[in-house]
Amino acid sequence: MSLINSLSSFTSLLSTIPSTPPLKTKNLSAHYTYSKHSLSRSSIIPFLSSNNIKISYNSHCHSSTLAEPEQQLVQFEGTLFYSKAYWVTKSLIAWNVDVGNNASCFLFSSQTADLLVNNNCIQGYDLEIKLEPVKDQLPASVVEKFPHIRDYRVFHVPDDVDVKSLLKCQLAVGLFNANGECSDITCLQLPGILDDLYSYGGPLGAVFSTDTVSLYLWAPTAQAVSACIYGAPSSGDPLETVQLEEVNGVWSFDGPRSWEGCYYQYAVSVYHPSTLKIENCMATDPYARGLSSDGRRTLLINLDCKNLKPERWDDLANEKPELSSFSDISIYELHIRDFRSFYFPLLISLLFGLFSIVLLIFSYRNCSANDQTVNPDLCGGYLAFTYQDSAGLLHLKKLSNAGLTHVHLLPTFQFAGVDDEKQKWKNLDADRLARLPPDSDEQQAQVTAIQDDDGYNPVLWGVPKGSYSSNSNGTSRSLEFRKMVQSLNRIGLRVVLDVVYNHLHGNGPHDDNSVLDKIVPGYYLRRSTDGSIEHSTCVNNTASEHFMVERLILDDLLCWAVEYKVDGFRFDLMGHIMKRTMVKAKNTLQGLSKEIHGVDGSMIYIYGEGWDFGEVANNGRGINASQSNLHGTGIGSFNDRIRDAILGGSPFGHPLQQGFLTGLSYQPNGHEHGAKTVVDNMLAESQDHIQVGMAGNLRDFVLTNFQGEEVKGLEVLTYGGSPVAYSSCPMETTQMDISVDDRCRLNQLATSIVSLSQGIPFFHCGDEMLRSKSLDRDSYNSGDWFNRLDFSYNSNNWGVGLPPKGKNEKNWPLIKPRLADPSFKPHKDHILGAVENFLNVLRIRYSSPLFRLRTSNAIQKRVRFHNVGPSRIPGIIVMSIEDGHEGMPGLVQLDPLYSYIVVAFNPLQNEVLFTSHALQARNLVLHPVQLMSSDKLVMESNYDASSGSFTVPPRTTSVFVEPRAFD
């Protein structure tokens, strides 16, 4: 019987089953034959699951007789398909159950995965073990690791149990009443006991020696492991298959050195909780350092081979661009193929065309994918960065010469969603799309039709993505990645990698993109209290609170730092990683030395998204790496507070919500923000938020708020009531119906706020070129059409059609008339002006160390805000930074050129006169960079020493300096 179509047909089938089964009856759904009927797992399990039914013979229960068929069909409440109990140490199991009088708890195992259960019976087990209830609560060490089960009931496992053998079996615990009836049953989550018994620090992956290639795989729950060795990246039979041997959870084999250059797959026989079966899983090596083009086979690659090193590669540590302090860092995010991002911008992406409508732009496309100065075969790849005269590299050189220090490359590891072989990519007719109206919905329709083939979710963290190499098979991806890093370093830019350790693309025993969940099922992925995989990050959250997950992350970081000599790491959704892991990562990386590792680890910077949500929120899975937990660690986290205050609202709010820069209070756009007094207070609070952000977002920075009170940054609250400030030192925060000319000025003003703040400024590729993407709010998979970058500066890609409807359709009524209006489209001179402004604010930042103070104490003593309190001029921010004088008491002298700096930000449509008695009688002049600027308006800025008055032109940032020549 291959298919059961109804409950009645299944019930009638049961009547043919013999009435006297053996005590340990095999699971019917494991393939049991009765009379003329064959019940296979593939036919029964889908029916049982979809109809909430579970069936079995009696075995562990109060009766040895078979109940009537109607009594066998009971409500299925998850039993074996859920894992609600936790085996946390060798001797302790935790389960959220109430053990009443005379109740007993048993552990059941089946080496062949034949456990079966109904409402009061359990069958198919090889072994049953009585567990003793423990009155004490879980040990503190367990609660620290698993705080979400702190109140669970504790059961003791007998000391004489062969625990290691049991961990290779299907396991369940059952609760029985005094009559022997099973009142509850569930499977177990095993990460706790696996860490207790099998935490391992030895070699993993492929290890090369003079005569051998040794394979090591951590797989303590596997029943058998073999390696299939192939001579080719795809197809064909294995050259040989070898059986690995296990020692304490690690499987290994010593093969000949001639294997180098071959490919291999692991065949792992292991119980998988998602299918309730012993599965034979084919998987790549979690510690792979090379892959085939489809990512299905692991390449045996020796990264220390001379042929994989560019000329002078081993000397690169001594050729790195100079970096004296993390506070000197500025970061420019781009994508190898298309300069794009998949999460929210933490500075400000673009205000172009968005005075009365604020839509955040979050994703970025590339110079090289559309760069006609690069060999077409290498466009969008690692080697595009080695063309020193390409338009893209020339642009990066300009930024580097102006002071930019780091390029942040969006995901470069092996991810799913983009085929490694470029000939399989899907493309659109760009000429046809260009002929369509600027507000048409046809462009997005064509992009949407193929956008599922354009994205990235991690498959393997430790291998460069094949689609960016000239040949995704073999060793090209490793050699070319190294050439890219070396080339960027040689134009003065250090390299940061975007790492995504918070989730994985695949799970289960059959998904082609599942790796870790095939090797040790149920261990690497974080699970809820019922055993299902948590998906709050996107899909398949990983669990860094587990020892070997944390170890894999640390080992992967070391590989990129040592083998590819990268200079920093940006952690995607860092709040889903434990703080302990992040601190270990920082300490491990900064412990690297040139002498031993060929890397100066003290200059490797790490930062990420410290958002606190999902199952990890409020330290739900341990102390996580959220903004509020990171202070004092020296680890950077993105500053969304300054972004929201500048733009207004948040990425999830109404697109018309205004902020400091977009007209809140002083130029209403018609959106209902509340009464005038409410709106004025919102603007004042936004100014406070920005000022805290500009002072490094320091928790203890003291400022005068809009009410005239002296408060710490920690006491300034967001609209949600959480503190605006969360950092302890400046390197822990990473910043973010008008004319086209004024819209461009607003964009430049936003860039200057970020550039001239304390802390580390973070820019998105295209910020400096008025990047538009036709108002797409999240274009990570919107294709090259919406994400194009033009390094000839002829276009900012405005008005190339309505953005994809999935995330933008509700705002189409606001977007459509703006795209259709030709007055919104900038000209080349606007784009060139924006590029010049960006270069100028970088030059200003790096003209004085006062913009890059290294300690919270220095910021506290030197940075002041002047337009504060109830008498302030609404909408204006005025900041001063003071230096000391050599040989004089007080502040230490830091800047050899300037003794005092004043920066005034005016987003208003009119000129502003601001007077401060505290700023009288100083020898302030407009910054030389602004005096030489082609921006005529900024040169109208003025300072009157006698009155302490500053004249600031509309929508302008004016920087005044006091040269030491006047001292």
Please classify residue 31 by burial: count the beta carbons closer than 10 Å to its beta carbon, then call 0-12 exposed, 13-18 middle and 19+ buried: middle
Tokens for 120?
């009061």
CA atoms within 13 A on the CB side of 44: 23
In angstroms, rounded to a whole number, what is the distance separating the alpha carbons of residues 347 and 448? 28
Q: Which residue has the tokens 């260009």?
A: 434
In angstroms, rounded to a whole number, what is the distance separating the alpha carbons of residues 252 and 597? 26
Q: Which of 481, 120, 66 is nearest to 303 (CA)?
A: 481
Do strands 74-75 and 53-54 pair parallel, antiparallel, or not at all (unpaired)?
antiparallel
In DSSP notation, 296-312 reads SSEE---TT-GGGS-TT
Which residues, in sequence order, are CB contacts of 863 under 8 Å at separation 6+? 694, 695, 701, 758, 853, 879, 880, 881
Q: Which of 158, 168, 46, 184 is nearest to 104 (CA)?
A: 184
Q: Is 882 an active-site residue?
A: no
The per-residue pLDDT for 434 is 87
In DSSP notation, 888-930 reads SSSSPP--SSEEEEEEEEE-SSS-EEEE-GGGTT---EE-HHH
The per-residue pLDDT for 8 is 32
Q: Which of 63, 321, 303 is nearest to 180 (CA)?
A: 63
Which of 467-488 are b and which e, b meaning 16 or more Cβ less than 10 Å from the residue's Cβ?
bbbbebbbbbbbbbbbbbbbbb
End-to-end, the C-alpha distance of the chain in Å comes to: 97
The per-residue pLDDT for 727 is 66
Read off the DSSP letter of residue 620.
Answer: B
**Secondary-structure breakdown of the chain: helix, strand, coil percentages, each rounded to the nearest 5:** 30, 20, 45
Q: Coil, helix or strand for 129?
A: strand
Widest Cα–Cα separation across the chain: 107
Tokens for 789?
């970058």
Helix axes 676-694, 640-647, angle to 10 degrees: 140
In DSSP notation, 822-881 reads GGGS--HHHHHHHHHHHHHHHHHHTT-GGGG--SHHHHHHHEEE-S-STT--TT-EEEEE
Q: Show the CA angle centred on residue 810, arms to residues 805 and 815, nearest 5°.
A: 80
- The amino acid at residue 884 is G
Q: Which residue is catalytic, options 328, 517, 609, 778?
A: 609
Q: Which of 934, 951, 735 is nearest to 840 (CA)?
A: 934
Q: How many beta carbons lie within 10 A of that of residue 391, not counting itself? A: 20
In angstroms, rounded to a whole number, what is the distance separating the alpha carbons of residues 461 and 664? 44
Read off the DSSP letter of residue 157.
Answer: P
The per-residue pLDDT for 372 is 60
In angstroms, rounded to a whole number, what is the distance separating the alpha carbons of residues 654 and 651? 8
CATH 2.60.40.1180-classified regions of the chain: 853-963
Q: Which of 633, 643, 650, 638 is nearest to 610 (CA)?
A: 638
Q: Which residue has the tokens 């669990």?
A: 543
Tokens for 204?
């993993």
CA 842 to chain centre: 27
Structural contact between residues 898 and 848, judged by C-beta atoms closer than 8 angstroms: yes
Q: How many beta carbons lie within 10 A of that of residue 814, not counting itself? A: 16
Residues in the chain: 967
Q: Which of 519, 536, 520, 584 is nearest to 556 (CA)?
A: 584
Q: Which residue is catalytic, options 196, 439, 556, 572?
A: 572
In angstroms, rounded to a whole number, what is the distance separating the alpha carbons of residues 263 and 416? 20
Q: Show the CA angle centred on residue 19, arms to residues 16 and 21, nearest 5°.
A: 110
Q: Which of 27, 47, 766 is nearest to 348 (CA)?
A: 766
Q: Is 572 an active-site residue?
A: yes
Structural contact between residues 584 and 631, judged by C-beta atoms closer than 8 angstroms: no
The per-residue pLDDT for 367 is 39
Do strands 212-218 and 205-208 pair parallel, antiparallel, or not at all (unpaired)?
antiparallel
Assess if CATH 2.60.40.1180 describes domain 853-963. yes
Q: Coil, helix or strand for 636?
A: strand
**Residue range 763-780, pLDDT digits in tens:** 988 888 887 887 887 776
Question: What stretches in the chain show pLDDT beneath 70?
Answer: 1-78, 119, 338-374, 376, 451-456, 649-652, 665, 718-720, 724-737, 780, 966-967
The per-residue pLDDT for 818 is 87
CATH superfamily of 85-193: Rab geranylgeranyltransferase alpha-subunit, insert domain (2.60.40.1130)
In angstroms, rounded to a whole number, what is the distance separating the alpha carbons of residues 695 and 860? 8
Q: Which of 268, 730, 170, 314 is nearest to 515 (CA)?
A: 268
Give a three-class secondary structure readout of 475-526: CHHHHHHHHHHHHHHHCCCEEEEEECCCECCCCCCCCCCCCHHHHCCCCCEC
Phi-psi region of 775 (alpha: psi -120 to 50; beta: other; left: phi over 0): left
